[in-house]
Amino acid sequence: MLLEPREIQLIRMYALAPALAAGCLGAAAVSVGAGLALCAADAVFFYARDAYFPGIATAFVMAVVLGTIGVTLVVVNRRRDYDPAWLDLCDKTLRAGPFSPNAGPSLQPMVVARFHEVPVIPVSAVAAGAILLPPAILLSLFLPHYRAQARALEESRQLATAGLESVAETLEDGGCTDVWYSDPNDYHAYYGYTVSGYLQGGEEDVFITPETVKLSAVVDNHGQLIEVDYIVGVDIEKSLEENLDRARTQLEQGREVLRDIEIPTKSGDLFAPELLPDEFAEKMPGVYPYENTYSWQEEADGVTVSTDYYTYPEEEYGEYDCAYIRVAVSCPDAWE
């Protein structure tokens, strides 16, 4: 029996509809899963802080489109038994071939296709193709992005390493000992890496001592200075005024060392603010020597100064414990 072109198309549509519907619905789920997995890989291996928008948007758009197609095909397949064109074709097929008397009025599409020798793409290939299409499209978007991320990561490591080495050299030239800094090749820090050295103390000291003067600087992934940090040990056997006078002297000496850092500051002036502000000095008589206190202030250029006094309660103050003053001066956008 000779079939019309529209009848051949009808057979192929109904023969492939179930597999294509399942494939599209599966592909919608795969699209979302693959998009999230590729974004997770971006965060894990390339330390991306935000999702790659073109990739994740494409994944969700494909999921919506494929899901809609899949649902539409499910509906089309369920309405097959009520399609007049399909029922007419089945009737012609039943009259043309040796079918069981109980067959019909609607036959299975693959049965009709085999009877009329209509070639149909294997349903497994259709389903597999639908499911594999979203990952292939997403990989074509993410792979160039990954290459760009890898180049940017390597560049940031080089910039950070150069900045850290420069700061470490400055600390050593300023007389600091036990200079140490993080290695960007060992791990990735989103906000930066620390360089530290002892202007006084250090060497064999495991804990902070009353003689300790420790200087630190934080360098971001662009090789810029974003924070400087001072720690000065406090001898609680001495008067508060003696400790504050020593702290002012040591902080100023430390600032002069750090001021020679040659790498650029991200923003603001980290060496202009007062390191022991009046607010902090006024709080100290009420807490010294066994209670903590702090002050925080923001300069006109956005630079922040956090001044803290750390100690231990009198009943807990042990032989190896030592109070200290810590001053951290940070760029306004240091942790962005």
- 130 domain residue, yes or no: yes
Maximum distance among all Cα pairs of the chain, rounded to whole angstroms: 113
Indicate whether 188 and 146 sit together in one domain.
Answer: no
pLDDT value, residue 103: 66
Tell me the angle at which helices 5-46 and 84-96 cross, rounded to the nearest 10 degrees.
120
* 212 neighbors 226 (Cβ within 8 angstroms): no
Task: Note the pLDDT tens digit of each residue in 37-94.
Answer: 999 999 999 999 899 999 999 999 999 999 999 999 999 988 888 889 988 888 888 8
Are 9 and 149 part of one and the same domain?
yes
Show which of 119, 153, 187 is a domain's final residue: 153
For residues 184 and 318, membership in a common domain is answered with yes
Q: Are residues 208 and 100 in the same domain?
A: no
| 265 found inside a domain | yes
Has residue 169 been placed in a domain?
no
Question: Smallest Cα–Cα separation from 15: which of 151, 114, 94, 99?
Answer: 114
Pairing between strand 193-200 and 225-234?
unpaired
Q: How many domains does the chain have?
A: 2
Whether residues 69 and 123 fall in one domain: yes
Q: What is the pLDDT of residues 192-250, one digit of tens each?
A: 999 999 999 876 556 789 999 999 999 999 999 999 999 999 999 999 999 999 999 99
Q: How large is the average pLDDT for residues 169-178?
A: 95
Q: Are residues 202 and 87 part of one domain?
A: no
Which of 7-11, 73-77, 137-141, 205-209 is predicted least confidently?
205-209
pLDDT at 319: 83
> What residues make up the domain containing 71?
5-153
Residues 185 and 148 in one domain: no
Give pLDDT, residue 184.
94
**At residue 266, what is the residue type?**
K
- Domain membership of residue 119 (yes or no) is yes
What's the CA gap between 74 and 288, in Å, rounded? 77
The pLDDT value recorded for residue 247 is 96
Contact 218, 226 (CB under 8 A): yes
Q: Evaluate whether residue 59 is within a structural domain.
A: yes
Asked whether residue 104 carries a pLDDT value surpassing 80, the answer given is: no
Strand-pair partners of 307: 295, 327
Q: Which of 118, 153, 188 is the last residue of a domain?
A: 153
Task: Kindly report the length of the chain.
Answer: 336
In a domain, 77, yes or no: yes
Q: Which of 94, 124, 153 is the last residue of a domain?
A: 153
pLDDT at site 1? 61
Rounded average pLDDT over 28-33: 95
pLDDT of residue 100: 61
Choose between 80 and 304: higher pLDDT: 304
Same domain, 279 and 227: yes
Q: Are 319 and 178 contained in the same domain?
A: yes
Q: Does 125 share its domain with 228?
A: no
User: What DSSP letter does each residue of 264-321 carry, written as one string?
Assistant: PBSSS-TTSS-SS-HHHHHHGGGTTTTS-EEEEEE-TTS-EEEEEEE---GGG--TT-
Q: What is the pLDDT of residues 143-160, one digit of tens each?
A: 999 999 999 999 999 999
86 in any annotated domain: yes
Q: 248 and 180 share a domain?
A: yes
Distance CA(41)–CA(62), nearest Å, equals: 20
pLDDT 10s digits, 262-297: 999 999 999 999 999 999 999 999 999 999 999 999
Of the pLDDT bands very low, low, confident and very high (cuts 50, 70, 90), residue 328 is very high
Closest CA to 2 of 89, 72, 106: 89
Does residue 336 lie in a domain region?
Answer: no
With CA atoms as reference, report the closest residue to 326 among 215, 217, 246: 215
Percent of the chain with pLDDT over 90: 73
Q: What is the mean pLDDT of residues 85-104?
A: 76
The residue-averaged pLDDT of 158-170 equals 97
Q: Are residues 13 and 149 in the same domain?
A: yes
Q: How many CB atoms lie within 10 A of CB 60?
A: 15
pLDDT (0 to 100) of residue 118:
87
Could you give the count of Cα atoms lying within 13 Å of 308 in the half-sphere of its Cβ?
11
